[in-house]
């Protein structure tokens, strides 16, 4: 492996490692050792890391919105049940 390729691969791996340690899609800390095979860097198939980062951010935001929506639905259901039982 060329020095430049090895250096780039190391940067990508370190970035992914840092990102995994900070947050996963559900918002919980994640270990480096729980790496997803889809995240594996393959020098034969270079990728656009910025596009991957943007896609992950979109997924994270969508997951947060869905979690908020589910929480609102639970709250509405609980409020309806309280209204039904107190009537």
The pLDDT of residue 68: 96
pTM of the full predicted structure?
0.43
Q: For residue 19, how many C-alpha atoms fall within 13 Å in the half-sphere facing its CB?
A: 18
Task: Kindly give, in sequence order, each residue whose CB lies less than 8 Å from that of residue 68, ignoring residues fewer than 6 positions away.
Answer: none
Domain layout of the chain by residue ranges = 3-86
For the chain, how far is it from start to end, CA to CA, in angstroms?
74
Segments of the chain scoring below 70 in pLDDT: 1-4, 16-41, 85-87
Q: Which two tokens stand for residue 74?
A: 């639970």
The pLDDT of residue 3: 58
Whether residue 32 contacts residue 21, with contact meaning beta carbons closer than 8 Å, is answered with yes
């Amino acid at each position: 492996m060329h020095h430049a390729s090895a250096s780039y691969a190391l940067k990508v791996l370190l970035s992914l490692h840092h990102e995994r340690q900070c947050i996963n899609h559900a918002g919980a800390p994640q270990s480096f050792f729980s790496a997803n095979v889809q995240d594996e860097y393959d020098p034969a198939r270079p990728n656009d890391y910025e596009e991957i980062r943007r896609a992950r951010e979109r997924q994270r935001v969508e997951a947060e919105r869905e979690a908020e929506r589910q929480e609102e639905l639970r709250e509405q259901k609980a409020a309806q049940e309280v209204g039904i039982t107190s009537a």
